[in-house]
């Protein structure tokens, strides 16, 4: 009989500085942030990068469903909730205290019809279920910045199996971590090489996008046009992301292909 996993025992702390509220897991390492005057905005650069999938899949009705592995301060969940009203959001978070903190101190909406938080292990959830999602975002770390079972080949293979035909996986990787190259290789193996690794942002976080379904073949000019639209409609500025992508990636015929 399988025993139920107990939630992590690490502390969940909050700090504030210069109008920004931060989430910590028993250390100074930031697990999430919210500018108090702009609670719906993506304060941390890497969270903005994780929404770059919106540049890769066109159309006004993508994604219709999103799975977030790791809640943190709820930044991604709130952004999707606010700006993608057709999208239904499922969050898997291993620590019930994190959900409580996100609701009490980081303005996570209470709307079960559109936003569901499931308390459980993200790897178990992915391996055990069958429901498919358009957008899977993986951002789960312990206090020591380790992803553990969320950075294994079986987990990434399970992610691929849980994507819709137009689905994208986005994974937050620590680009300056010594295990970074091995993490990317596991994603490449799971997705038959169909991966785009975006150049690291200032924080050192690197976002990898992968798909196993419909090909991505998006022109740079289309990405820029979509980024301009997103900036006007949501204040999300992904134009610097596109500039770094050009510098760090060979793009044959001006298209990003996955």
Q: What is the structure's pLDDT at 26?
A: 76
Regarding the domain delimited by 40-257, which CATH topology (the fold level of the hierarchy) does it fall under? Rossmann fold (3.40.50)
Q: Give how far Cα 69 sits from Cα of 6, 32, 157, 193, 208, Å.
A: 17, 14, 15, 22, 15
Whether the per-residue pLDDT at 147 is higher than 70: the answer is: no
Token pair in block for residue 67? 């799975």
* Rounded CA separation 83/102 (Å): 19
Rounded (5°) CA angle 6-11-12: 100
Beta-bridge partners for 138: 69, 171
- Nearest in space to 77 (alpha carbons), one of 23, 13, 124, 135: 135
Residue 19: is it exposed, middle or buried by C-beta count within 10 angstroms (0-12/13-18/19+)?
A: exposed
In contact, 150 and 140? CB cutoff 8 Å: yes
Q: Which of 21-35, 158-172, 230-244 comes out lowest in average pLDDT?
A: 21-35
- Contacts (Cβ under 8 Å, ≥6 apart) of 147: 138, 140, 141, 183
- What digits encode the pLDDT tens for the residues 213-236? 999 999 999 999 999 999 999 999
Residues involved in catalysis: 139
How many percent of the chain have pLDDT more than 90? 74
- E strand or H helix at 49, and its extent? helix 45-50
Instruction: Name residue, tokens 């690197």.
Output: 206
How many percent of the chain have pLDDT more than 70? 92
> Cα torsion for 30, 11, 36, 119, to the nearest 10°?
100
Q: Which of 12-16, 144-148, 202-206 comes out lowest in average pLDDT?
A: 144-148
In contact, 209 and 193? CB cutoff 8 Å: no
- Nearest in space to 68 (alpha carbons), one of 41, 98, 97, 45: 98
DSSP class of residue 108 equals -
């Amino acid at each position: 009989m399988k025993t139920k996993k107990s939630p992590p025992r690490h502390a969940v702390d909050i700090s504030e500085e210069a109008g920004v509220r931060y989430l910590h897991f028993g250390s100074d390492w930031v697990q999430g942030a919210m500018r108090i005057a702009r609670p719906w905005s993506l304060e941390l650069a890497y969270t903005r990068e994780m929404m770059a999938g919106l540049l890769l899949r066109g159309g006004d009705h993508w994604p219709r469903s999103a799975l977030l592995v790791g809640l943190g301060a709820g930044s991604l969940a709130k952004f999707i909730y606010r700006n993608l009203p057709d999208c239904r959001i499922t969050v898997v978070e291993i620590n019930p205290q994190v959900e409580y903190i996100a609701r009490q101190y980081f303005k996570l909406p209470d709307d079960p019809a559109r936003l569901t938080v499931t308390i459980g292990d993200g790897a178990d959830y992915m391996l055990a279920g069958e429901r498919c999602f358009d957008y899977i975002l993986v951002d789960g770390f312990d206090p020591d910045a380790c992803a553990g079972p969320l950075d294994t080949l079986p987990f990434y293979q399970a992610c691929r199996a849980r994507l819709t035909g137009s689905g994208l996986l986005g994974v937050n990787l620590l680009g300056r971590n010594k295990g970074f190259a091995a993490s990317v290789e596991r994603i490449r193996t799971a997705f038959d090489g169909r991966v785009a690794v975006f150049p690291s942002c200032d924080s050192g976080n690197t976002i990898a996008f992968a798909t196993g379904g419909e090909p991505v073949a998006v022109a740079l000019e289309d990405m820029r046009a979509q980024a301009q639209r997103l900036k006007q409609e949501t204040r999300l500025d992904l134009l610097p992301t596109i500039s770094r992508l050009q510098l760090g990636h060979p793009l044959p015929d001006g298209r990003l292909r996955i």
